[in-house]
Amino acid sequence: MWIPGFGRYSAKPGNRVGDDAPGFSLLDQNGAQVSLKEQLGDKPIVLVFYPRASSPICTKQMCSLRDNWATLVQKARVFGVSYDPPAALKVFKQNDKLPFTLLSDPDKKVANAYGVAGLFAAARVSFVIGPDGKIKAVITDIKASDHDQQVLDAL
C-alpha cells in the first residue's frame, strides 16, 4: 500500500535492470564519504532504500539483514540509504547492532536518480548492482521480516 509523501519506484532509463547504476557519493553514519565507484569490486552491492531510521518496519527490515549477515557478507556489500542525517543513522546502527554501512541522502539526489524519491521518504526498494556497475535486480515488493532472503534470492 502506497502512502502519500513516500516514494514509489518509477522505472526509467538509468535505474532499470541492465542499466549502469547511477553513481553517487554520500555521507555514512560517521560522516565519511562513500561513493559507489569506490565500492565496486569483487562482490555485488546491495542498496537498500528505506523510509526512516529506527521506525518499526524499517528496523524489522534492517534487522532481517543483520540476522543473516554471515551469509550476506559472503555474497555482497550492503548499504542502507535514507534521508536521515548521519547522526540519526549512527544511533540506528548502534542501537540495532547493524553490521553494514548506512548512508544519508538528505537532498534526495540519489533517491531521485534511482527513481524511489518521495516528498517525506524514499520508497522501500532494494537494488542489486553487479561488480561491473550494472543493475542486476530491483526488489520492489519488500517483505520487512524476510528481506534478507529476498536479497539472497536476487543475488
Point out the residues that are catalytic.
58
Distance CA 24, CA 123 (A): 18
Element (H, E) at 35: strand 33-35
Q: What are φ and ψ of residue 97, in 5° steps?
A: 50, 50
Rg of the chain over CA atoms, in angstroms?
A: 14
Dihedral, CA of residue 122, residue 126, residue 131 and residue 135, to nearest 10: -80
